[in-house]
Amino acid sequence: MSELVNRAFRLRQRPVGRVTEKDLELVTESVPDLQPGQALVRTLYLSLDPTNRIWMSEKPSYLPPVEIDAVMRGVAVGQVVESRRDGVKPGDHVTGMLGWQEYAVVGDGATDVTVLPDPLPAPVTAFLGVLGHTGISAWLGLNNIGRVKPGDTVVVSAAAGAVGSVAGQLAKKYGAARVVGLAGGEAKCRHVIEDLGFDDCVDYKREDWRDRIDAATPDGVDVDFENVGGEIMDHVMSRLNLHARIVLCGMISQYNSDGGGDSWAGQRAIGEMIMTRSTMSGFVVLDHADQFPAAIDELAGLWAQGKLKADETVVEGFEQARDELNNLFDGRNTGKLLIKVADPG
């Protein structure tokens, strides 16, 4: 056994509602010796994602549920500290499903990783956000499903979050006449308009949020980039124009419901799609690896020219991960929520 000590979060039971210490236990354990074909990676930044909550439930999704007692699944960037794997050397930056742990064994018989370019073209955190799975999700949803046309009105829910902030900015670049965000609180809405360039933003925590959505979309809605689901989505659907497109990216309002998303009220306004001959399509970013290079190319170009803002909320300390995941559901983050686990070597 290596002398290194690993801290990891292991799933002990399936959460009901918010995640507790009993559900996700922080343990200290030794790091196994490397086998041929493997490398040891030190986690630098851990991505906290709404889907983490889905993976903890026993409901089958696009990935199998995390097994009880297993290290919690999670996307991270890290740095190789030791390698017995061809093509991977100490110091390399890598990204992949390193899990909620400080050290991960990767390679043969373990999870695979992607080696990031050297030198890094952007801060390493960008590979979990604007140039990672959340930025790419925004790009995929708009290009494959939303297909924004000049003159369109686009509504983006969770607009101040990782996916939503990029989706709204891209929709403007693609020629939307009006991009309206939905976000929790006045300060977030101000940020969405003033810093991210949305045309308007509705604070869905206000009592009159329905009237405000109506007022913000005087010409109806052509594209709904949906991150939230539930009653907010229902109301946006009541505003659909003819041949509108609904990009069903996520439904965070449902993930914490008892049973981890198994039981929820359901959408009520689906019938609007018949009257408006609209289409709705879900997607999962993992299915579209063939489009990642095109997405990253465009996103990196815009980012490098200063035309795409990449908000991040970085919280120091691996031990904060469980509480911070709950905070994601309270909207305490702006942009991509990351845990800083270690400094680069």
Ligand X SMILES: NC(=O)c1ccc[n+]([C@@H]2O[C@H](COP(=O)([O-])OP(=O)(O)OC[C@H]3O[C@@H](n4cnc5c(N)ncnc54)[C@H](OP(=O)(O)O)[C@@H]3O)[C@@H](O)[C@H]2O)c1
Least CB distance from residue 181 to ligand X, whole Å?
Answer: 9
Distance separating alpha carbons of residues 42 and 4, to the nearest angstrom: 11
Footprint on residues 86-125 left by ligand X (CB under 6 A): none
Q: Which of 215, 284, 304, 314 binds ligand X (CB under 6 A)?
A: 284
Least CB distance from residue 168 to ligand X, whole Å?
Answer: 11
Structure tokens at 115: 């080696």
Is residue 146 a contact residue for ligand X (CB under 6 A)? no
Q: Which of 209, 264, 283, 292 binds ligand X (CB under 6 A)?
A: 283
Q: Is the peptide bond preceding residue 15 cis, with omega within 30 degrees of 0? A: no
* Residue among 111 and 283 whose Cβ is closer to ligand X: 283
Is residue 155 a contact residue for ligand X (CB under 6 A)? no
Least CB distance from residue 256 to ligand X, whole Å?
Answer: 8
Which range in 17-25, 48-56, 82-90, 170-178 contacts ligand X by CB under 6 A?
48-56
Q: Is the peptide bond preceding residue 344 cis, with omega within 30 degrees of 0? A: no
What crossing angle do the helices spanning 133-140 and 292-304 adopt, rounded to 10°? 100
Which range in 43-51, 113-121, 233-241, 267-275 contacts ligand X by CB under 6 A?
43-51
Quickly tell me which residue has 């799933």 as its tokens: 11
Is residue 253 a contact residue for ligand X (CB under 6 A)? yes
**Beta strands of 174-220 (E only): which ranges?**
178-183, 200-203
Distance separating alpha carbons of residues 297 and 301, to the nearest angstrom: 6
* Residue among 91 and 266 whose Cβ is closer to ligand X: 266
Dihedral angle sign, alpha carbons of residues 287, 129, 197, 158: positive
* Residue among 146 and 184 whose Cβ is closer to ligand X: 184
Q: Which of 19, 34, 39, 50 binds ligand X (CB under 6 A)?
A: 50
**Beta strands of the chain (E only): which ranges?**
5-11, 24-30, 38-47, 76-83, 93-96, 103-107, 113-115, 153-156, 178-183, 200-203, 221-226, 240-248, 279-282, 312-316, 336-340
Q: Which of 51, 52, 79, 169 binds ligand X (CB under 6 A)?
A: 51
Residues lying near ligand X in the complex (CB under 6 A) are found at 49-51, 133-134, 137, 158, 160-164, 183-184, 188, 227-228, 249-253, 283-285, 328-329, 331, 333, 337
